[in-house]
Amino acid sequence: MDFKSFKDTIQAAKRIVIISHVNPDGDTLGSMSALYQVILNNFDHTKDSVDMVYNGIIPEIYKFIPFLDEAKKPEQVKDELYDLAIAVDIAAKDRMGDSLPLYERTETKMNIDHHKTNNNYGTVNFVRGDACSCGEVLFDIFKALDLNIDKKTAWGLYAALLTDTGGFRYDNTDADTLLKSAELIKLGAEPAKIARFCYESKPRNMVLLHAHCMINADFTDNNRIAGVCISNKDMEKFHASNDYTEGLVEELRRIGTTEVSYVAKEVDENTTKVSLRSKTIDVSKVAQVFNGGGHTFAAGCTIRKPLKIAKDKILEEIRKALG
Ligand SMILES: [Mn+2]
């Protein structure tokens, strides 16, 4: 990987915007925060020349990540001109949501990611499918270039590694993940505090929504497939914001008999968002049938169909893949 071009590209840019993906998670937010700090701490840039942009809402549990209070919404920067846009943890361009026009109109487009389905859509690409998280890709770049990682940067990177490995439990966890996490702890990341923010700070209604979904879940194909449909009515009932469904698809996979889990969520009457998790088959291939993508055991897509029809379609593809 040509790390020097990372340094040169940032040095050459006058104004930089860092873009995180829609429905932001711990990896995209932790990566955005860490990159922001590294640029400010290691280059000539000031806060006036670097912006962070997020889509939708920042989940309550991730608000502890440093400097996210300085991040802006796409509409707040729609008249701004940048010469470098950096996408972090964004598998495909449509995952930029309302930030996509901003990315498209910026001359130099950097793409830092770890999704194996990423097609190198940037003009400068740092994509490593073997990394556990975008945070790990950034950590490696920072180390290779001897850039200073301070305490708050370490917090952002650690949050990225922790959450994208499901608390160091998923198959993307290896010795490197743990060695790098240990180094981040030495640099000032506090594991117990960060874990408490990420895993023990859920809003009560989020847990109640999950309980409602678990009770109404569908178990089919000898319980090998577990899934649930969430309508906007369900969301209203629990005063749920969009991020409240996070973690649900993993809870369904946690059941011993589950091989594949899915959550089909109504966006509007003709659009359904689907999250997929697996212990066995490659669900990124299932997601790709509907122009989505992701990782082997964690993927997602959006289907332009009403909730119940989308559910049938995804179930059909999962069954085909299970054989
Ligand atoms: Mn990620």
Give me ligand 1 centre to Cα 216, in Å. 29
Give me ligand 1 centre to Cα 237, in Å. 30
**Residue closest to 250 by CA, chosen among 265, 235, 260:** 260
Between CA 11 and CA 191 the distance in angstroms is 33
**Residue closest to 184 by CA, chosen among 162, 212, 209, 201:** 162
Give me ligand 1 centre to Cα 222, in Å. 31
Give me ligand 1 centre to Cα 159, in Å. 11
Long-range contacts of 245-250 (CB under 8 A, 24+ apart): 245/209, 245/213, 245/275, 246/23, 246/25, 246/59, 247/210, 248/210, 248/213, 248/275, 249/275, 249/276, 249/277, 250/166, 250/277
Question: 120 and 127 in contact (C-beta within 8 Å)?
Answer: yes
Give me ligand 1 centre to Cα 147, in Å. 22
**Which pair of structure tokens corresponds to residue 59?**
């989940």
pTM passes above 0.95: no
Answer whether residue 1 shows pLDDT above 80. Answer: no
Answer whether residue 133 shows pLDDT above 80. Answer: yes
At residue 117, the pLDDT reads 87
Q: What is the CA radius of gyration of the chain?
A: 19
Considering the chain, what is the average pLDDT of its residues? 97
CATH class of 204-322: alpha beta
Answer whether residue 103 shows pLDDT above 90. Answer: yes
Q: For the residues 215-236, what does the mean pLDDT come to?
A: 98
The secondary structure element, H or E, covering residue 266 is: strand 260-268
Please write the tens of the pLDDT for every residue from 268-322: 999 999 999 999 999 999 999 999 988 899 999 999 999 999 999 999 999 999 9
Give me ligand 1 centre to Cα 300, in Å. 13
Give me ligand 1 centre to Cα 204, in Å. 26
At residue 46, the pLDDT reads 96
Give me ligand 1 centre to Cα 69, in Å. 21
**Residue closest to 11 by CA, chosen among 52, 53, 42, 32:** 42
**Residue closest to 142 by CA, chosen among 178, 183, 108:** 183
Q: For the residues 172-182, what does the mean pLDDT come to?
A: 97
pLDDT > 90 fraction of the chain, expressed in percent and rounded: 96
Give me ligand 1 centre to Cα 163, in Å. 9
Give me ligand 1 centre to Cα 45, in Å. 26
CATH topology for 3-199?
inorganic pyrophosphatase (n-terminal core) (3.90.1640)
At residue 116, the pLDDT reads 87
Domain ranges, ordered by start, for the chain: 3-199, 204-322
Give me ligand 1 centre to Cα 96, in Å. 14
